[in-house]
Amino acid sequence: MKKIALGLVAATVGGAMLLSGGSALAQQRTSSVEIKDITPNPVSVKQGGETTAYFKVGASSDVDKVTLRVRLDGQFRTLSEKTVSDRNWRFSVDFNDSDEGRWTAIAEAFKDGKKVAEDTAAFAVEVEDAGKADTRITRFTADPYKVRKGKSIHISGRLQADEDGWEGASGEKVGIYYRANGNSGWKHIGTTTTKWGGKFNASTRAWKSGSFKAVFEGTDELNGSESGSDYVRVYKRWH
């Protein structure tokens, strides 16, 4: 009987130890941290630009501190805490066009100076194709509007590009085209280069009445465009 009693005591003690251990484990698991949201995801950045990403982290009520890091190929950035609200930590970080790739956010929770929980979340940084800027040709004229045969016709205009607003595009090639009365096709008669402010000038001899226009073929960065036409009357003698 004594042996049985001792066995029961041992079992009870062992059971108590197990219960105690389980209780401690349960208490330890009450500490938690979670990356709840990453906005935007993916983080889209324009070439030459910058985009701010926001990280919302939640933690259990026993947590004293939360830190967040972001990692790309073993490189870390530690984010400073921005605001704390309802036990939610919010973080932000700026990304530029050199940060393209797959990233991992690592949130760590601390209690009494010790790390008690961790969570990770994947996100991506993508660089947008800037695309080509639109262009237009303005103030195009062929002067004078009436000219004697053999005299000069002066052509001018301005090439502009829409890069966060219309601005003059200098150093670009603009073709000048002519279509004589009675003809259906345009003939290329010369090329000029835009100067400061996108302004360009050209001249030609007057031989027959017809229309003129300017054409910009475009580049790797700029879309092409063409001007409206301008008509010039050519006569053989003074009236």
Q: Give the residue-averaged pLDDT of 35-53.
A: 88
Cis status of the peptide bond prior to 144, with omega within 30 of 0:
yes
In 10 A of CB 115, how many CB atoms? 13
First to last CA, the chain: 142
Between CA 104 and CA 30 the distance in angstroms is 25
Residue 60 phi, psi (nearest 5):
-70, 160
In 138-239, alpha helices (H)? none
More confident of the two residues 164 and 87: 164
pTM over 0.75? The answer is no
Check the CA dihedral 177-179-185-187 and report its sign: negative
**pLDDT at 26 > cutoff 60:** no
Ordered structural domains, the chain, with CATH: 32-128 (2.60.40.1930), 135-235 (2.60.40.730)
The 10 Å CB-count burial string (b at 16+, else e) for 200-217 is: bebebebeebbbbbbbbe
More confident of the two residues 34 and 81: 34
The 3-state DSSP class for residue 8 equals helix
**pLDDT at 167 > cutoff 90:** yes
51-87, pLDDT tens digit by residue?
Answer: 999 999 999 989 989 988 888 866 666 654 433 344 5
**pLDDT at 148 > cutoff 50:** yes
Q: How many residues does the chain have?
A: 239
Q: How high is the pLDDT of residue 69?
A: 87
